[in-house]
Amino acid sequence: MNPDWLYGLGGGLMIGLAAALLLLLNGRIAGISGIFGAMVAGRPDGDAFERLAFLAALIGVPALYVFAGGAPAANAPASAPLLVAAGLLVGMGTRMGGGCTSGHGVCGMSRFSPRSIVAAVTFMLVGAVVATLGRHVIGGL
C-alpha cells in the first residue's frame, strides 16, 4: 500500500481521536469553521477561552513541528484574487451551511446525521466539479 495512504489513515485517526476527546470530555463538536467562526463573527461567551486554546494549539503544534526542523508544504495557489475569492466562499459557505469538513464531515457523518451527510455530499460534489474544471478547463489552479 502507498505509504501516503497509511500516513493519511494515521493522521485521520489522530484527528478523530482529537474530536472524540473534545466530544466525550467537553461535550463540544470539533468543527473548525464553528470554532473559528465563533471567534471572528460571534459574540464572546463563556466558551471563548476554550476556543482560543483549541485554535492556538491547532496553529501552534504545526508551527512547533516546523521550528523543530520539519518542512511541511502548503502548496497554496499563488494567485491573490483566487485566494480571496476561495476564502470568502469558504467563510460564508461554512457559516451558512453550519459546518465544514470537520463539523459535518468528521463529527456529523459519524453520528449518521442526515443533515451532515447531505452537507458533505454537497461540498464534496461541488468541490470535485470546481477543482476538475479549474485544473483542466480553465487551467492554472
Residues 40-69 that bind other proteins (CB under 8 A): 40-42, 49-51, 53-63, 65-66
Number of residues this chain uses to bind other proteins (CB under 8 A)? 107
Long-range contacts (CB closer than 8 Å, 24 or more residues apart) made by 13-16: 15/102, 15/106, 16/106, 16/110
Shortest reach from residue 140's CB to other proteins, in Å: 11
Shortest reach from residue 85's CB to other proteins, in Å: 7
Q: Is residue 108 within 8 Å of 119, Cβ to Cβ?
A: yes
Of the two residues 44 and 92, which places its CB atom closer to other proteins in the complex? 92
Shortest reach from residue 18's CB to other proteins, in Å: 4
Residue list 61-120, contact with other proteins (CB under 8 A): 61-63, 65-66, 70, 72-78, 80, 82-98, 100-102, 104-107, 109-111, 113-115, 118-120
Long-range contacts (CB closer than 8 Å, 24 or more residues apart) made by 97-100: 97/122, 97/123, 98/34, 99/31, 99/33, 99/34, 100/31, 100/32, 100/33
Shortest reach from residue 90's CB to other proteins, in Å: 4
Question: What is the distance between the alpha carbons of residues 119 and 101, in angstroms, rounded to a whole number?
Answer: 9
